[in-house]
Amino acid sequence: MTELSPSDIAKDAAAAAAVRLVENGMRLGLGTGSTAAFMVRRLAAFVKEDGLQLRCAATSKATADLAESLGMKVETLDDIGWLDLTIDGADELDPDLNLIKGGGAALLREKIVASASDRMVVMADGSKVVETLGAFHLPVEVIPFGWQTTKQLIDRMLTLMDLDGRPILQRKRDDAPLLTDEGNYILDLSLEAIPEPARLSAALNAIPGVVENGLFIGLCDLAIIGKPDGEVVEL
């Protein structure tokens, strides 16, 4: 078995603590990303060893594929209807538990799943905790039709809000636009600091062509922060 890096030890510690919140019979949302992958692996082992009965919806095709490869059954959110708990990672979190998510281009399904949950728990390593959101680029999911116009409208809105951070289209290695699971594009905003996340989120989502943005405001109930020594703290 390969040795885990200090950052992976922190992620796995947070994942292990999050999985301890899972109870038999729960309807669960499974997040996306490397920390969520640690959680899915631990959850799959838990299900296998303890015979836990769960109903799970995934926030991405990648997570669904991983869970199923480990023997877990994954259903659609509509099949399940409502979730007791969603466990996901984050790119940044502030002291009010507002988040930037979507570094793995799954923000749309992640936000739908988190919004359809009684409780959202975020797992992260300490490097993700910030005073003010924005050092991490903010992903914005836009529909492909007229995306350059949408980009201009976002640019204009940022200027009106006195924010820097011109939108840049996320591309794959072959230079083609990266497609989300929903077949949309992602524009990344490099804002450096987001003083009013709720205001920015509302302004972005009011632009035609914007499907959703990576600001998760008031959705996270608990953050579990893993440390490289394997300890965790809760925020």
- Rounded Cα gap, residues 108 and 164, in angstroms: 24
- Structural contact between residues 208 and 151, judged by C-beta atoms closer than 8 angstroms: no
214 is in an annotated binding site: no
The stretch among 14-22, 30-38, 62-70, 220-228 that binds ligand 5RP (CB under 6 A) is 30-38
In the complex, the smallest distance separating the C-beta of residue 128 from ligand 5RP, rounded to whole angstroms, is 7
Both tokens assigned to 30 = 């499974």
Angstrom CA distances, 129 to 37, 63, 152, stand at 20, 24, 31
Residue listed under structure tokens 């728990």: 121
89 is in an annotated binding site: yes
Count of residues interacting with ligand 5RP (CB under 6 A): 18
33 is in an annotated binding site: yes
Residue ranges in 151-190 that form contacts with ligand 5RP under rule CB under 6 A: none
Applying CB under 6 A, which of residues 12, 84, 88, 94 lies at the interface with ligand 5RP? 88
Residue listed under structure tokens 């680029």: 137
Beta bridge partners of 226: 125, 232
Query: 119, 112, 133, 125: which is closest to 220 by C-alpha?
Result: 119
Give yes or no for residue 90 binding ligand 5RP (CB under 6 A): yes
| Per annotation, catalytic residue among 75, 92, 110, 192 | 110
Applying CB under 6 A, which of residues 94, 110, 141, 212 lies at the interface with ligand 5RP? 110
Where in the sequence numbering do the catalytic residues fall? 110
Annotated binding site for substrate: 32-35, 88-91, 101-104, 128
